[in-house]
Chain A
Amino acid sequence: MIESNSPFYDTFKGILNTIDKNRVQELLTYMNTEAINFNLFKNNAFIERKFPFDIIPRIVSPSEFAYLEKGIQQRIYALNLFLEDIYGVQKILKDGIIPSEFVFSSKAYLPAFANTPVAKNIRVHISGIDLVKNSVGDGWVVLEDNIRVPSGVSYPLSLRLLTRKVFPEFFEKLPIQDVRDYPKKLEAAMDYVNTGGINVILTPGRYNSAFYEHSYLAKESGAILANGEDLVVEKDKVYLKTYNGKKARVGAIYRRLDDDALDPVEFHPDSLIGVPNITQAYRAGNVALMNSIGNGIADDKGIYYFVPAMIKYYMNEEPILQNAPTFLAFFEKDRNHILQNMRTLVIKDVAEAGGYGVVFGSQLTKSEREKLKDAIIAEPRRFIAQEVIEFYDIECLDEAGTFSPRKADLRMFSIYGKDIFVWPGGLTRFAMDPTSYIVNSSQGGGFKDTWVLKEHR
């Protein structure tokens, strides 16, 4: 089913029809010169690839955005409280809301960082929550809370800037919310948690799939873009080595490296892209890391199940956004349900991300299904299963110039600084294959901009 309930899609198409098709080509050329890439690793080879995009935006009405904004703020607030708790007194475990063995058996829980205070008690500085709009009941459903190193904000942002240039008429005729202040909000959040010194964006380097974004955000937020080797821990503080040999104290780091790669002295010893002993400076409270170390436990696909309960527990509120109906193989009752309903469920390996380790039970052969069953029985903690959500298709303009439907999700970004800012835009990802439900960029999906409309003046 196609999501086109908004009358604004008609307005959009009306304007699109009046547009000279050559200008569409102009937009494509601009996007190519901007070199908006999403690097892929496929069969162990490195492919630098254009991130395919579609010019038709997802349009979000003012009331819909207001609802999403409230829901995301509530969710992020609760997840942050959960992390403060789980790396602190662990009240939620003592009160039996989440089974403690469920947390302690997760590789994402890092007890070596228990009782490490973080600047301003903020741990979820940057988040990218993935949602889909259910075609049954029209409600938004959260699929994943990405609160480690979510990427993707720069793609719709760049596309927006170019679309404004090439098709100004959309922006004259439709009340579209401006999104250009994202880097400024990032800067404000970095300043807010900064422990003294400059702001830095720490990138794994140009082979990373989101390097384009790291450089874009650095340029626009005024932070210095640095590789691991540009930073050094001296005494108990972090410094940036500058080209003239001087060193500048670093107070906040928006790090685009996973925990595991962050520090070869603390985590993976073979990491060449990290900063040795940066975790000790962090433990000593001399640098703010965005996001904090150990956040993985809160966006663990298994912990996801408990987020609605967290909202009730910490905030005494009803959750605004819903979860997809989820079963945890960890619980015997759920496990039996999964084993009996393999054909209709999506089974996810909690240790994987980016669309890897996601299996549709209906697409498995009998022997594959049996193999997966054995794996679930052997390691129940590793698997969750979800009912397939019939989420909306969204229209894309294909090469022939006709509209064709694709499954699409929405990643909404928020920045937690002085307060929780939900960006009035978002990365809409669609599946390239018309029959596929998997929209992840790392699985070859494409993207669209997301236009949030303002109330009529």
Chain B
Amino acid sequence: MKVNFSYDFTLTFDEPVRNHHFCLRMVPHTNAIQTLLDWKLNLNDGIPYYQTRDGFENHLVYGYCGKPHRALKANIEGEIELSTYIYHDQEPVELYLPHSTLAPLCEDVRDFSRSLKLPVTDFRKAHFLTQLLYEQFRALEEPKAKGIKTFLLYKEGISQDFSHLLIALLRSNGIPARFVNGFIDGVNKTHTWVEAFMDGDWRGLDPQSGIFIHDEPYIKIAHGRDFSECQIHRGSYIGKRQHILKIMGRIERNEQ
């Protein structure tokens, strides 16, 4: 399936900032399930950018704006070919078994996991857990508190919390799992989901919708062991810390 996509990233500051170094993950990941056919990236005021890749093969766009500015805006448009969300790659799967900082195996996760009656096979376990998160947890637009513990306590959180808890639960059941940053059509936020390694392949799991991703148009940007390794934006600048981040992704089926 070929789709056209556009993705807008806007970071605005209350007061002008300067000496702004940034690193963005915006260019979709290239792998066996998505082929980037064409893309164009623009930054506001013609800020120049450079590209490299990190160890997860995520595409990095980085640059510098020295003069005072109130916003960093980036837009990427392009065409991508998507296929069924089952694939494998060169990365060692075992990398995704140990617990990581944002998806820890803390007492709360252990207790929660123990309270569940899980089915036998990996595939069914993953399905069960994805469904469970969808049914028992509520999605918030804005984060109220941080971390997996409060997510378990209040049963509500943002997209990241869903993914981190699912990852922690999968890993504690011996299923390698990784964090995915990306977007779906029309959601006014970055969407995150999970890839779990089962029967020799990575599969996409969206705990916020309670589904195994199959042919739905999910565009993957980056992955890592947890959010900290595949953030859409990282930066350092001189100025007040308050900023507002807006993200808009659009996906249109290309009817050719």
Interface residues of A (CB under 8 A from B): 87, 90, 93, 100-101, 104-105, 110-116, 232-236, 264-266, 269, 276-277, 280, 283-284
Contacts of A235 in B (CB 8 A): 48, 50
Q: Does A265 lie within 8 Å of B21, measured CB to CB?
A: yes
Q: Which of the candidate stretches B29-37, B51-59, B145-153, B248-256 sits at the interface with the other chain?
A: B51-59
- Determine how close the nearest CB of chain B comes to the CB of A409; give it in whole angstroms: 33
Chain B 1-43: CB-based contact to A (< 8 A → 1; otherwise 0): 0000000000000000000011100000000000000000000
- Determine how close the nearest CB of chain A comes to the CB of B64; give it in whole angstroms: 6
Contacts of A284 in B (CB 8 A): 50, 52
Jot down 16 A-B pairs with beta carbons below 8 A, ordered by A: A104-B98, A112-B55, A112-B224, A115-B55, A233-B21, A233-B64, A234-B64, A235-B50, A265-B23, A265-B236, A266-B23, A269-B236, A276-B236, A280-B60, A283-B53, A283-B54
Contacts of A110 in B (CB 8 A): 55
Q: Does A277 lie within 8 Å of B23, measured CB to CB?
A: yes
Summed over the interface, the residue pairs from A and B with CB atoms below 8 Å come to a total of 73
Interface residues of B (CB under 8 A from A): 21-23, 48, 50, 52-57, 60, 62, 64, 92, 94-95, 97-98, 224-225, 229, 234-236
Of the candidates A101, A112, A113, A283, which one forms a contact with B98 in the assembled complex, judged by CB atoms under 8 Å apart? A101
Q: How far is the CA of A265 from the CA of B56 in the complex (A)?
A: 17
Q: How far is the CA of A235 from the CA of B21 in the complex (A)?
A: 11
Q: Does B97 lie within 8 Å of A236, measured CB to CB?
A: no
Q: How far is the CA of A116 from the CA of B55 in the complex (A)?
A: 7
Q: How far is the CA of A104 from the CA of B95 in the complex (A)?
A: 5
Q: How far is the CA of A235 from the CA of B52 in the complex (A)?
A: 12
Chain A: CB-nearest residue to B96: A104
Contacts of B52 in A (CB 8 A): 236, 280, 283-284
Q: How far is the CA of A379 from the CA of B62 in the complex (A)?
A: 38
Q: Classify the interface of chain A: helix, strand, loop or mixed.
A: loop
Q: How far is the CA of A229 from the CA of B216 in the complex (A)?
A: 47
Q: How far is the CA of A21 from the CA of B235 in the complex (A)?
A: 60
Q: A233-B64, A264-B236, A266-B234 are in contact. Are A111 and B55 (CB under 8 A)?
A: yes
Q: Does B22 lie within 8 Å of A265, measured CB to CB?
A: yes
Q: How far is the CA of A104 from the CA of B96 in the complex (A)?
A: 8
Q: A104-B94, A265-B22, A269-B236 are in contact. Are A277 and B64 (CB under 8 A)?
A: yes
Q: Which of A90, A93, A284 has most B Cβ within 10 Å? A: A284
Q: Does A93 lie within 8 Å of B55, measured CB to CB?
A: no
Contacts of B95 in A (CB 8 A): 104, 111
Q: Which of A100, A101, A232, A276 has most B Cβ within 10 Å? A: A276
Contacts of B94 in A (CB 8 A): 93, 100-101, 104
Q: How far is the CA of A56 from the CA of B225 in the complex (A)?
A: 52
Q: Does A93 lie within 8 Å of B92, measured CB to CB?
A: yes
Q: Does A111 lie within 8 Å of B21, measured CB to CB?
A: no
Q: Which of B54, B97, B224 has most A Cβ within 10 Å? A: B54
Contacts of B92 in A (CB 8 A): 90, 93, 100, 104
Q: Which 6 pairs show the lowest CB-CB distances between chains A and B?
A: A114-B55, A276-B21, A105-B98, A236-B50, A276-B236, A100-B94
Q: How far is the CA of A407 from the CA of B56 in the complex (A)?
A: 46
Contacts of A269 in B (CB 8 A): 234, 236
Q: How far is the CA of A110 from the CA of B98 in the complex (A)?
A: 13
Q: How far is the CA of A115 from the CA of B89 in the complex (A)?
A: 14
Q: How far is the CA of A101 from the CA of B98 in the complex (A)?
A: 7
Contacts of A101 in B (CB 8 A): 94, 97-98
Q: How far is the CA of A93 from the CA of B98 in the complex (A)?
A: 16
- Determine how close the nearest CB of chain A comes to the CB of B47; give it in whole angstroms: 12
Q: How far is the CA of A280 from the CA of B235 in the complex (A)?
A: 12
Q: How far is the CA of A302 from the CA of B50 in the complex (A)?
A: 38
Q: A101-B94, A101-B97 are in contact. Are A112 and B236 (CB under 8 A)?
A: no
Chain B: CB-nearest residue to A111: B55
Of the candidates B23, B229, B236, which one forms a contact with A280 in the assembled complex, judged by CB atoms under 8 Å apart? B23
Chain B: CB-nearest residue to A236: B50
Q: How far is the CA of A93 from the CA of B225 in the complex (A)?
A: 19
- Determine how close the nearest CB of chain B comes to the CB of A292; give it in whole angstroms: 13
Q: How far is the CA of A234 from the CA of B229 in the complex (A)?
A: 24
Chain A: CB-nearest residue to B21: A276
- Determine how close the nearest CB of chain B comes to the CB of A318; give it in whole angstroms: 30
Contacts of B235 in A (CB 8 A): 265, 276
- Determine how close the nearest CB of chain A comes to the CB of B93; give it in whole angstroms: 9
Q: How far is the CA of A234 from the CA of B52 in the complex (A)?
A: 14
Q: How far is the CA of A284 from the CA of B64 in the complex (A)?
A: 16
Q: How far is the CA of A113 from the CA of B58 in the complex (A)?
A: 11
Contacts of B50 in A (CB 8 A): 235-236, 280, 284
Contacts of B48 in A (CB 8 A): 235
